[in-house]
Amino acid sequence: MPSQTITVALTGASGLPYGLRLIECLLAAGVRVWVLYSQAAQVVAQQEMNLALPSRPAAFQSWLEEQYQPAEGLLRVYGREEWFAPPASGSNPADAMVVCPCSMGTLAAIAAGSSDNLIERAADVSIKEQRKLVLVPREAPLSAIHLENMLKLARLGVCILPPSPGFYTHPQSVQDMVDFVVARIMDQVGVAHSLLPRWGEDRA
């Protein structure tokens, strides 16, 4: 049995490279990953990465398995209306959930507790069961509405982690900048990685 189960939700904000790289790194670390995704995420994947993500969850799962070659049983993909999926119930919550990227619409719905689809419901379950929830919101500039929603969630213990790569690691590529953010997410959900050196460690 894997030591951890982490739900990763992909929504319609800019930043799909972060989400896909996160899935790749979690699977490589031997973590069981439940993937949820929205139709808007498919649009963003086409725009940002020229990727035509399959609409059917089973086809998307096959695509991810082909890309990342996870160990058997580590990966499951669920559709936005699969109410009998494990993350929909507090009786079987994941150890942590990450919404990456997180659109402002999804963030607002989570803050309101609307639970109109599996992504929102899984986040609601994470909050009520006091499991780690990390939101990676990508928007600029932020309105007072966005900030108030983030503050409301932060006060509930939700981690708000904007994808803001640092430059003190001297990134040499876009991939380096993606990995900086993914490393921060991995730290928050307690998964070991070697994506970048720790502050104060010998860079050599």
> How many whole angstroms separate alpha carbon 191 and alpha carbon 204?
23
User: Could you tell me what percent of the chain has a pLDDT over 70?
Assistant: 98
Q: What are phi and psi of 190, to 5 degrees?
A: 75, 35
Known binding-site positions for dimethylallyl phosphate = 168, 184
18-76 per-position pLDDT tens digit: 999 999 999 999 999 999 999 999 999 999 999 999 999 999 999 999 999 999 999 99
12, two tokens: 């319609």
Question: Does the domain made of 5-188 have the CATH classification 1.20.1070.10?
Answer: no
Q: What is the pTM of this model?
A: 0.95
At 149-169, the pLDDT tens digits run: 999 999 999 999 999 999 998
Cα–Cα dist 66/10, whole Å: 19
Rounded to whole angstroms, how far apart are CA atoms 120 and 47?
Answer: 24
pLDDT at 200: 82
- DSSP of 75-131: EEEE-TT-TTSGGG-TTS--SEEEEEEE-HHHHHHHHHT---SHHHHHHHHHHHTT-
Domain boundaries, the chain: 5-188
Residues at the binding site are 12-14, 38, 103-106, 138, 168, 184
Task: Give the CA dihedral 157, 158, 163, 166, nearest 10 degrees.
Answer: 10
Average confidence score pLDDT of the chain: 95
Binding-site residues for FMN:
12-14, 38, 103-106, 138
d(Cα 181, Cα 166) in Å, to the nearest integer?
8
